[in-house]
Amino acid sequence: MAKDRSQRDDYTAPLRRLLTGVVCLCLLAIFLIWRIDSPRVERFRAQVVDAVVPSMDWAMIPVEGAINLFRDFQSYQRLAEQNRELRSELRQMRAWKEAALQLEQENARLLDLNNVRLDPRLTYVTGVVMADSGSPFRQSVILNVGARDGVRDGWAAMDGIGLVGRISGTGQDTARVILLTDAASAVPALIQPSGQSTLVAGDNSPAPVIDFLENPDLVRPGDRVVTSGDGNVFPAGLLIGQVTQDRFGRLRVRLSADYERLEFLRVLRHHGSEVIKDPGGLVVPAPGINIPQPRPEGLGNEAAAGATDGE
């Protein structure tokens, strides 16, 4: 064993010295070649660089990948920031869109109110619906107009199309409107074109009932229902709705007012019709015509004649 080890040492030591010498000579030659200033040597160096450097592209692939990953991460951060900004702008645009739709609806309601044709003698005040106090037992709304605006109990309230209800309570700045659908509501009405008088009574359903109809055979679904003005409750001719029939065959009124979107209501200033108490007050005598006075009670025919002669 000792002999074999000594033989390997005899071979490896000279080989090491030989390889060391060859490496030193190669390094010296490379140094000299890179230091020689000659066109031929320069072309040789360029050929060596062209042959060696491209083969190092594999070493740059991880570096380029890391650089591209970092750039992609920065781009992702910018995209995330832009996405957040766009989402915020989109929320703002939705808010502006909702505000624009609400303004458009309010404008349409106000235009409807302005287009309603009323008796020129009737004046009105427009109020905004502040709250809906409707319940299964009471259906009403509250307006932002009251006694300071001259609103009184019993006045009619309309939307852009038809009658909604009547004022049932006033405060200084607010007023309550009992809707036609409320169970406490009863409105004298007229059905056109038959001219039948009736009473539109609410029963807490979307379609009030037609009661006390004299001749139901003359009434057809689709006939117009307007206020009659009887009882000095409402002005005559205000549109209520159209006649309809439920599944039980009972006549009801499909209201023209849009109860689902009550935003503005017009309160009609109705001070009532002139009540004539004197039977002769309706006929105004022409100028120059003497109207005989009624005979005083307790006087006989002779006394009445004497009073006439004395005149």
Q: Where are the domains of the chain?
A: 62-109, 124-268
**Dist CA 222 CA 192 (whole Å):** 10
What are the phi and psi torsion angles at 287 (to 5°)? -65, 140
**Dist CA 52 CA 115 (whole Å):** 91
Written as tens digits, the pLDDT of the chain (311 aa) is: 555 556 666 667 777 888 888 888 888 877 777 677 777 777 777 777 676 665 556 667 777 888 888 888 888 888 888 888 898 888 888 778 777 776 776 676 666 666 555 565 677 888 888 877 655 556 889 999 999 988 988 899 988 788 999 999 899 999 999 999 998 899 999 998 888 999 999 998 999 999 888 888 899 998 999 998 887 778 888 889 999 998 888 999 999 888 888 888 989 887 665 554 555 544 444 455 454 554 544 444 444 444 444 43
Q: Which residues contact 127 (CB under 8 A, 6 or more apart)?
A: 143, 144, 145, 149, 175, 264, 265, 266, 267
187 three-state secondary structure:
strand
pTM of the model: 0.52
Specify whether the CB–CB gap between 178 and 184 falls below 8 A. yes
Nearest alpha carbon to residue 232 among 275, 176, 202: 275
**Dist CA 276 CA 68 (whole Å):** 99
Residue 111 CA from chain centroid, whole number: 16
**Dist CA 280 CA 6 (whole Å):** 161
> What topology does CATH give the domain 124-268?
Thrombin, subunit H (2.40.10)
Direct distance between the N- and C-terminal alpha carbons of the chain, in angstroms, rounded to an integer: 183
**Dist CA 134 CA 205 (whole Å):** 12
